[in-house]
């Protein structure tokens, strides 16, 4: 498989510096594995520097689907069992989850996104045994990262994307992709593809994720389970069923139900086997939710089926209502389905909210005293009873200041500091260490580990507050810097969007809304260079509307414009996905047919001719059809340049005109005539 050219729009997203990305150990692993000749030992040591990541890797390597194999206890053994590439991809995925920032886009439901991603990952892992060539771990990573494109848009273009989300809420996936392309000139599918490649994942993996985003739903009769993208779509059906809410549109509930029924048919499962699959996925989802600090809940297959049944009933009733009618899903979805809010509420701006402090101590009395002291001083305080718990709370809550005891079981204050400093989110937290020790060596080690300040125990309340004032000043500065950074990024995004729109306008024919002559010539030159370099094929089809002057003279230019628009859209609707039509000037159009030889391009031209001839155009005082004369030329005919091939196609159009119009000619003079009953031909 060959990599596509990375679009400039993705490079702009990447240059913002805010794309979801691995940090800490994830960054180390990216650097270690930048080339194919990386050291497994180096990667193993990098992973082992993060105890939490090590535990997750080992747990997957010893998962239930590997029953009968000897349990492993080291990362080196996991590398041997799973393969270095698989472990690398797992480490990257887990590090991205650890670095999540759930606050940028107010209209994006971050908890639901992460819950859905985890559910999809677990479901994909469970289904992986049914797809040849896809390992359980690869399926798990793909499920976790499948929708990272939408997360990227919510992170980089938070305000603009919030509007897109609100405008497309409840609409089909195609509407969301169209809206994203219109606003950002790139969509979640393309972004996900580019991010996968940027992280060094295989092209086939990236394409599977892209296809999943583009073809989210199966069409009737397309049930299959033969590839990673198929696997992701079915896994998404299971995860969507687990996350149905009282506000899920009835259309979506019906789609999910249809997909689950199709999955059961493809697997050949009985109702009992399907229920067992769902229960196993649900159980593992909750297990991994606890391990990754992602919100999950208990959901039964029976409640899901009940909700789907009521959603189908609502959908059928909506279809029978007059245009504009509708039902609220809340009236029909089962109460057993968990309700979540679509919008994460957080109305407080930087500067108006309290300083958030995390208090950490393993001694209950000391912790209670510390929390009381901090709350008395007006801080917004959360607490943790040990270092491991503090790590989870810090990653979830994102406190501004952490006040932690040094001597704690499981993870000491210094170990907590080191772990936090390895993460992007923890690197900016102000950390104050409480210690009863006075040894200078410990204090030196504390500062070298990343501690910002320390206070002797037992502490004096006024003294502790005074020491925290320095932290408050740092937090204030960080907030102002972050707000300035977001403002700059917003302005940069607005500028990039404006420039993209200008570029699009400069390459688009405003009347017909298809590319213009300038764009067509640039595309032809690019195709010619590609053909010269790699031997790839392409053809051009020149098109002229027959007797168009008569339309303008007899009915006026408004009718002429309507004919041009209708003809352009009819041509566009006939083309293959890789073809492109452009308005070349006046009543002339051009089709660039990638990969097409003469015979294929001639067949395409004939299809276009027939479609346009049968396309009835209705405008003021006009109702009829127009015909086309078309000329075909191909690079395989041995032309010396792109301009020579264009002239040959133009001459072929002239030949078609000379021979009576409404026909296709190739540049070699071969004539393809299609006899049409004059009584059924309405030409203008």
pLDDT in tens, 56-84: 888 888 875 665 677 888 888 888 888 88
pLDDT per position as a tens digit, 252-261: 888 888 889 8
At residue 664 the predicted structure's pLDDT band, cuts being 50, 70 and 90, is very high
Query: Do 470 and 612 lie in a common domain?
Result: no
> Phi/psi of residue 625, each to 5°?
-125, 160
Looking at residue 342, its pLDDT comes to: 33
Query: Do 298 and 427 lie in a common domain?
Result: no
Say which CATH number the domain at 246 has. Answer: 1.10.3210.10
Say yes or no to pLDDT of 670 above 70: no
Query: Do 165 and 247 lie in a common domain?
Result: yes
CA pair distance 9, 11, nearest whole angstrom:
5
Query: Do 390 and 296 lie in a common domain?
Result: no
CA pair distance 81, 559, nearest whole angstrom:
70
Query: Do 180 and 313 lie in a common domain?
Result: yes
Q: Which of 458, 269, 456 is CA-nearest to residue 366? A: 458
Give the mean model confidence (pLDDT) for residues 629-640.
92
> How many structural domains comprise the chain?
3
CA pair distance 177, 168, nearest whole angstrom:
10
Backbone conformation region of residue 27, classed left if phi is above 0, alpha if psi is from -120 to 50, else beta: alpha
Say which CATH number the domain at 630 has. Answer: 3.30.70.270
Domain boundary (480, 501, 529) is at 480
In a domain, 267, yes or no: yes
Looking at residue 324, its pLDDT comes to: 42
Domain boundary (297, 331, 365) is at 331
Say yes or no to pLDDT of 27 above 60: yes
Looking at residue 679, its pLDDT comes to: 38
Say which CATH number the domain at 406 has. Answer: 3.40.50.2300
CA atoms lying within 13 Å on the CB side of residue 464: 28
Domain boundary (462, 480, 498) is at 480
> Phi/psi of residue 454, each to 5°?
-140, 155
Say yes or no to pLDDT of 501 above 60: yes
Backbone conformation region of residue 320, classed left if phi is above 0, alpha if psi is from -120 to 50, else beta: alpha
Question: What is the token pair recorded at 316?
Answer: 């059928």
Query: Do 216 and 109 lie in a common domain?
Result: yes
CA pair distance 606, 599, nearest whole angstrom:
11
Query: Do 164 and 226 lie in a common domain?
Result: yes
At residue 677 the predicted structure's pLDDT band, cuts being 50, 70 and 90, is very low
> Phi/psi of residue 473, each to 5°?
-65, -45
Query: Do 591 and 552 lie in a common domain?
Result: yes
Better pLDDT: 291 or 269:
269
Better pLDDT: 41 or 36:
41
Give me the residues paired with residue 624 across strands: 617
CA pair distance 268, 120, nearest whole angstrom:
21
* Strands 588-594 and 580-585, sheet pairing: antiparallel
Give the mean model confidence (pLDDT) for residues 388-403.
87
CA pair distance 316, 312, nearest whole angstrom:
6
Q: Which structural domain range is residue 401 located in?
A: 356-480
CA pair distance 389, 366, nearest whole angstrom:
17
CA pair distance 33, 87, nearest whole angstrom:
11
DSSP-assigned letter for residue 200: T
Q: Which of 255, 246, 418 is CA-nearest to residue 337? A: 246
In a domain, 561, yes or no: yes
Q: Share the mean pLDDT of the chain.
A: 82
Say yes or no to pLDDT of 344 above 80: no
Query: Do 372 and 324 lie in a common domain?
Result: no
CB of 259 within 8 A of CB of 217?
yes
Query: Do 301 and 373 lie in a common domain?
Result: no
CA pair distance 369, 137, nearest whole angstrom:
46
């Amino acid at each position: 498989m060959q990599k596509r050219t990375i679009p400039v729009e993705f490079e702009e997203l990447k240059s913002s510096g805010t794309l979801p990305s691995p940090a800490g150990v994830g960054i180390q692993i990216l650097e270690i594995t930048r080339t194919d000749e990386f050291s497994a030992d180096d990667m193993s040591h990098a992973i082992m520097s993060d105890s939490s990541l090590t535990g997750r890797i080992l747990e997957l390597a010893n998962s239930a689907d590997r029953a009968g194999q000897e349990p492993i206890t080291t990362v080196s053994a996991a590398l041997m069992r799973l393969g270095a590439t698989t472990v690398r991809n797992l480490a990257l995925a887990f590090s991205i989850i650890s670095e999540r920032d759930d606050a940028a886009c107010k209209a994006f439901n971050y908890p639901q996104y992460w819950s859905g991603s985890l559910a999809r990952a677990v479901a994909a892992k469970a289904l992986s045994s049914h797809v040849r060539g896809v390992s359980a771990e690869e399926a798990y990573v793909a499920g976790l990262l499948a929708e990272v494109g939408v997360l990227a848009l919510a992170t980089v273009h938070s305000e603009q994307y919030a509007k897109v989300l609100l405008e497309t809420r409840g609409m089909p996936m195609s509407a969301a992709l169209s809206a994203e392309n219109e606003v950002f000139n790139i969509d979640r599918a393309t972004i996900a593809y580019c991010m996968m490649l940027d992280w060094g994942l295989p092209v086939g993996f990236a394409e599977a994720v892209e296809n999943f985003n583009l073809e989210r739903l199966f069409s009737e009769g397309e049930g299959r389970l033969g590839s990673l993208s198929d696997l992701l779509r079915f896994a998404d059906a299971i995860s969507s069923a687990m996350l149905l809410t009282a506000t899920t549109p009835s259309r979506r509930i019906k789609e999910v139900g249809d997909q689950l029924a199709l999955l059961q048919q493809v697997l050949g499962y009985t109702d009992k086997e399907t229920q067992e699959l769902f229960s196993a996925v649900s159980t593992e989802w909750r297990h991994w939710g606890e391990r990754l600090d992602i919100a999950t809940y208990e959901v039964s297959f029976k409640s899901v089926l009940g909700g789907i049944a009521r959603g189908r009933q609502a959908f059928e009733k909506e279809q029978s209502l007059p245009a504009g009618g509708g039902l609220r899903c809340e009236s029909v979805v089962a109460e057993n389905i968990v309700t979540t809010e679509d919008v994460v509420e957080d109305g407080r701006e930087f500067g108006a909210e309290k300083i958030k402090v995390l208090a950490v101590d393993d001694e209950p009395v000391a912790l209670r005293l510390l929390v009381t002291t901090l709350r008395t001083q007006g801080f917004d305080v959360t607490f943790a009873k040990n270092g491991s718990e503090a790590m989870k709370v810090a990653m979830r809550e994102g406190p501004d200041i952490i006040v932690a005891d040094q001597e704690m079981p499981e993870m000491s204050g210094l170990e907590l500091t080191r772990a936090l400093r390895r993460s992007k989110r923890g690197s900016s937290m102000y950390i104050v260490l409480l210690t009863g020790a006075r040894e200078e060596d410990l204090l030196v080690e504390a500062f070298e580990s990343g501690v910002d300040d320390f206070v002797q125990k037992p502490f004096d309340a006024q003294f502790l507050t005074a020491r925290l004032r320095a932290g408050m000043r740092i937090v204030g500065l960080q907030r102002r810097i972050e707000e300035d950074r977001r403002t700059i990024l917003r302005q940069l995004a607005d500028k990039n969007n404006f420039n993209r729109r200008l570029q699009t306008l400069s390459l688009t024919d405003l009347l017909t809304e298809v590319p213009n002559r300038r764009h067509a010539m640039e595309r032809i030159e690019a195709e010619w260079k590609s053909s010269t370099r790699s031997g790839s094929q392409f053809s051009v089809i020149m098109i002229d509307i027959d007797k168009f002057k008569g339309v303008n003279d007899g009915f006026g230019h408004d009718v002429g414009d309507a004919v041009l628009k209708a003809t352009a859209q009819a041509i566009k609707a006939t083309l293959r996905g890789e073809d492109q039509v452009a308005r070349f000037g006046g009543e002339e159009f051009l089709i660039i047919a990638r990969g097409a030889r003469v015979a294929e391009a001639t067949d395409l031209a004939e299809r276009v001719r027939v479609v346009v001839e049968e396309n009835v155009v209705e405008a003021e005082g006009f109702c009829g059809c127009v015909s086309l004369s078309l000329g075909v030329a191909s690079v395989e005919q041995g032309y010396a340049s792109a301009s020579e091939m264009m002239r040959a196609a133009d001459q072929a159009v002239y030949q078609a005109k000379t021979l009576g119009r409404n026909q296709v000619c190739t540049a070699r003079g071969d004539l393809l005539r299609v006899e049409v009953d004059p009584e059924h031909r309405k030409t203008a």
